[in-house]
Structure 1
């Protein structure tokens, strides 16, 4: 028998249901030196405090003022790119807050698929034929539908998603424009570059406008009445960023008044606390009653490819945190002193 004492496992808690289905894959990636376990948000304060005891890292998409995170926490790992659910004041002083990407291809494919569907109207054609209607067929005088080739697409927020989408669109013969906070992000895939203050001028040229900017104080409500007015009655807005980047009331009223052609919305203004929430409505306005809106429940970035890439990045960050090495994707540092 070896005289070397066994080392205690490094404990990692996953708070809530987000990413909880990937814990087995994450455990396999980091090995037996780590103990990774879920912590239900429905537990009592005492139960959560006991569960968080001695953890050096927590995986979570949101925090609360009374969440009993241990004072010596090393890492608060967000399992996605958006960390607007995390407040540094809720995270112990000195703990690093990190996010993770890996969703660029998934979101770009979602946008491309939605644009193609908007042009082709395949779902309505399928529903019509199932109901016995051949009205869409040219054999019976059906009107031709649009092609995406030759269209102009504007992208607000030219980061990883924007660059990935621009490459896909260019391959299909689409003219791509972009607006971004910093001009250093622009590349030769673009045929027009704009400052955020010039978004209306860009939207005037767009058949589709894709919102892919991070939610910050600067971008909250960035797309308002003026920008939507510039998009016009044929233009379609696609939001895969965060709901509040687009002014909620302005968007609803532009759609209800048919002042824009339509919207494809994957990110929302309110989210239910749980799957069986009695009031799961995603907005204060009834977007579901509008026939010029396509609605999805924040699914654009969540693919098997995204999940696998995020597991790999989070595993590396946990190993770095345990070894005291520099972390990946640090976005903030905890400020809670008690």
Structure 2
């Protein structure tokens, strides 16, 4: 009897088709929006595949007696109760590394644009203004220092791309052993505050945990040098959004790009509404056509390996 797989969020169609060749698959990209139907579908499911919106917790999994694996189309696992899954013997399978290049391009591309200062000039130019004198003072990325908070697979790929455009790279990651070969390409920062003081661009690549809540707060933003910029593609809640808004409004911080938020979708009228020199995107830094194919293929393969009869 083939295993049964439930997919509750969008996945590359080629990967879904590959799974259907061997398994029974229920795929509905909006199933996450119908929690009662999702819970019912899991009653006889062997595997569940999700992105970041599906809350994979004890309440959802209570009746999923056959479930043996949860595939995560991405790397962040804060929406999955890992302790509960471990207690039930349910394997949790993230797509480590498969979207790293997409995130790296986002970070380095936005850092370039923020340092140059032209990101928000289109409306002025189209309206007949000509802010050439102001925008002629933009800065090049080559020779600047990138500070990476977290130096796992994604942070390392960001560092590689940053070095390719002439940046110096420093990183803070107390989990990565000092002897790890990745440190050959970056200066290992022992204290997080020192990184915030030294970097021209700070980019976040750590998971959301209670310890990381508001890791970037008013005090740490105040440590950043004049003209520095911040990029957050990690998780909402790591940056104090109200403190970030104040730093940008005051000019203490030159710019920021934020892809993740404490509440998603970001509610209208939030602390980030109307803030100058702030570029906002809807949690898409790691999602491109190519990365979706890679992530989906990897998770399809890993799920198939677990469910395929030996």
Give the TM-score band, short-chain normalised: 0.7 to 0.9
Tell me, in whole angstroms, the C-alpha distance in 2 between the residues paired with 1:268 and 1:223.
13
Which of 35, 41, 54 is the equivalent residue of 2:44?
54
Aligned residues of 1:26 and 1:311 also touching (Cα < 8 A) = yes
The structure-2 alpha-carbon separation of the partners of 1:69 and 1:107, relative to structure 1 and needing over 3 Å to count, comes to farther
1:307 aligns with 2:292: yes
How big is the alpha-carbon RMSD for the aligned residues of Structure 1 and Structure 2?
2.6
Aligned residues of 1:169 and 1:176 also touching (Cα < 8 A) = yes
Alignment of 1:106-117 (within 5 A): 106-117=102-113
Tell me, in whole angstroms, the C-alpha distance in 2 between the residues paired with 1:132 and 1:94.
63
Tell me, in whole angstroms, the C-alpha distance in 2 between the residues paired with 1:312 and 1:44.
26
Structure 2 unmatched ranges of 5 or more: none
Which of 95, 99, 103 is the equivalent residue of 2:94?
99
Instruction: Report the equivalent of 1:328.
Output: none
Tell me, in whole angstroms, the C-alpha distance in 1 between the residues paired with 2:248 and 2:119.
21
Instruction: Report the equivalent of 2:25.
Output: 36
Instruction: Report the equivalent of 1:329.
Output: none
Instruction: Report the equivalent of 1:275.
Output: none
1:240 aligns with 2:233: yes
More helix per residue: 2
Deviations 1:275-309 (A, max 9, x none): xxxxx518x84212210211111111001121111
Structure 1 unmatched ranges of 5 or more: 1-7, 273-279, 326-338
1:80 aligns with 2:80: no
TM-score scaled by structure 2?
A: 0.86
Tell me, in whole angstroms, the C-alpha distance in 2 between the residues paired with 1:174 and 1:49.
48
Tell me, in whole angstroms, the C-alpha distance in 1 between the residues paired with 2:195 and 2:124.
36
Q: CA deviation at 1:49?
A: 4.9
The structure-2 alpha-carbon separation of the partners of 1:130 and 1:323, relative to structure 1 and needing over 3 Å to count, comes to same
Which of 147, 165, 169 is the equivalent residue of 1:154?
147
1:296 aligns with 2:281: yes
Aligned residues of 1:72 and 1:95 also touching (Cα < 8 A) = no
Which one is further off, 239-248 or 65-74?
A: 65-74
Q: CA deviation at 1:48?
A: 4.1
Aligned-partner SS, 2:264: coil
Aligned-partner SS, 1:76: strand
1:172 aligns with 2:176: no
The structure-2 alpha-carbon separation of the partners of 1:130 and 1:98, relative to structure 1 and needing over 3 Å to count, comes to same
Instruction: Report the equivalent of 1:260.
Output: 253
Q: CA deviation at 1:42?
A: 4.5
Q: CA deviation at 1:106?
A: 0.3
Instruction: Report the equivalent of 1:119.
Output: 115
Q: CA deviation at 1:220?
A: 2.7
Tell me, in whole angstroms, the C-alpha distance in 1 between the residues paired with 2:35 and 2:163.
52
Question: Computing the radius of gyration over CA atoms, which structure comes out larger, 1 or 2?
Answer: 1
Deviations 1:212-254 (A, max 9, x none): 1122333333222332111133211111111222233433333
